[in-house]
Structure 1
């Protein structure tokens, strides 16, 4: 529940309301190649986290979702290389974005199922290997998904993952934050700007976050009482707009939101709910890959 600009409570922006009524449509058995498997595995984790945190997790739902997680976890290991990286089809060079996505997801899944710590440690080592005090977390190209399309964006994505996991706050992450801060002179990429706003919120650097959010205010798209962002004015990818707008929402709410922030956030939530499908989910930014 949020408050609108006048301070009144508003419940029409309930992102999870429809989803909770259709859990059978959102809880899915992961399958397919390395990317598709993770795209299906991750929602199970977030649904479990939400239900646990709101004390709505029943034994039946826990059993069903954890069975899916265990199956998806075991399947994902088929796409893991000996160096800790993951690839889409289990062959060829490791996909850095996918490896970070797996690391992020497995770290969260640990509270529900057994994840071998060695798998998490190997992926951490793979990602952190090229780090030095003068370079960002990632300094090489990778096959990327969603809006993650360049070195700065990939570094921001991985930095967010490490900050969420409370890992390596000193050293590599601080070095990456320093490099990312130097990149904010160019805010032409709306996706990157939104992601960076979330990163610096997680890092507690509210001055930099506020600077980024002020820029995002200048490119926001307003439709009635709704607010959202697109990569370009003629953006046709609803899934990418959902991802960008969600990062702005997270940046607004991850610190200590004011009443004004909550009112602003409620307008983003109302737009996000308008993009939901029948089951309460959203179209994915994942490329639908061939089944592996």
Structure 2
């Protein structure tokens, strides 16, 4: 087995380097710590028949800032790959998975629902590069290759070890789902998703090394179109932000499903958050209405932390 790569930065640096000494007193945030617009947007979605779940947790206090049906299990699409990445990083750290093991693309069934690997000429990639593709672009083929390599039972055991009793990785990505296939890729609750991201930045997901490695992979995520659109970060290079923001996230998308979870920390405060919206994707306007709720949450999260 190969030697696991050393994480380039530990999890403490992920938070500490972004939380400057110019942090404002908490009383200065009075009047900016409500999520009135978010609640209004989510209520309007619920009135149209959408299923909505939201959770925001203050990282310093560990208390809930906002919660709405955060215990309900809903489909989370590609966001279910985060526990997969945690299992991959844990196996690398334990020495049971060689990070440079080469996986052939032909070893998995072709899938075209999204991602980059299907468009690359390279017919095979090492495990660590597949993890980068899965985290940064939600690559379906790379994710399926990792699922095949470590196995769904191992990921499910890891989810149980993380204490996520309302979450599950059910299946790989598929272009079409038949009657014999699982109805969704993954399920989860916003409470557990927010807790998982908090554990990553607090070095509590398996170990400090595993937490740092997964957080580093997720810091490469290029989908900043939902909650993250309010951060004004560069989607292709947003780790070293000159304005002192710490941000990692993962999104999930499927027909009528939009999900995002992550951590956002600024000079005033830090939060972990998760939002799931399951809606009738009947027109572009239905989709835009759902997306706007995510962006509204992003604006109010920025007001909370900055």
TM-score using structure 1 length: 0.32
Higher strand share: 2
Q: Which of structures 1 and 2 has the larger relative contact order (alpha carbons within 8 angstroms, sep 6+)?
A: 2
